[in-house]
Copies of this chain bind each other. A is one copy, B any other.
Amino acid sequence: MKLTSKGRYAVMALVDLARFNNINPVSLRDISLRQGISLDYLEQIFSKLKKDQIVKSIRGTQGGYVLSKKPNEIKLTNIFHAVDEKVKTVKCKKDSKKGCNGKATKCVTHNLWDELENHINSFFDKKSLEDLLKSNNENRI
């Protein structure tokens, strides 16, 4: 069970963006340099974030990205959903009645994994970008 870079970078980048968001749009180039993430890769990530209306883009010189919502309205769930970082614990199709092994009934561990999935998602539902900003500021003072 591991987190992929896409999800990790998306959150890193958004925290960075939120911190410098006050005055001007923030360019991916700056984020790339500050956070050590490949610019080309960031572009892929931000195109997804934009599609889910987490950020807005401003083109041209002095352009960049800004948050579409307030930091406390952006939950990790939203970010992960945007970049397709999904939590997948069950093997079977959730809606189907069939089990993961192709049998007619759900397997002996199905409920467990489902519980686990809920447990993890509840974490992502609670955490907002604002929470991250706060805890980060505390560390810096």
Residues of B close to A16: CB separation below 8 A: 108
A12 CB contact (under 8 Å) in B4, B107, B123:
B107
A36 touches B111 (CB 8 A): no
Interface size class of A (residues with CB under 8 A): 35 or more
Query: When each residue 82-117 of chain A gets 1 if its CB lies under 8 Å from chain B and 0 otherwise, what string results?
Result: 000111110100000000011100011101110110
Q: Is the CB of A2 within 8 A of B123?
A: no
A119 CA to B46 CA, complexed, in Å: 28
**Complex Cα gap A37–B99 (Å):** 13
Q: Is the pair B15, A109 in contact by a Cβ cutoff of 8 Å?
A: yes
Contact A11 B127 (CB under 8 A): no
The smallest beta-carbon distance between A26 and chain B, in angstroms, is 14
Q: Quick check: is A21 within 8 A (CB to CB) of the other chain? A: no
Instruction: Tell me whether B12 and A87 are in contact (CB under 8 A).
Output: no
Q: Is A23 an interface residue (CB 8 A)?
A: no
Cβ of B15 and Cβ of A87 under 8 Å apart? Answer: no
A69 beta carbon closer than 8 Å to chain B: no
Q: Which residues of B contact A101 (CB under 8 A)?
A: 35-37
Q: Is A141's CB within 8 Å of the partner chain B?
A: no
The answer for the CA separation of A135 and B11 in the assembled complex, in Å, is 37
- Type the 1/0 row for A114-141, where 1 means its CB is closer than 8 Å to any CB of B: 0110011001000100001001100100
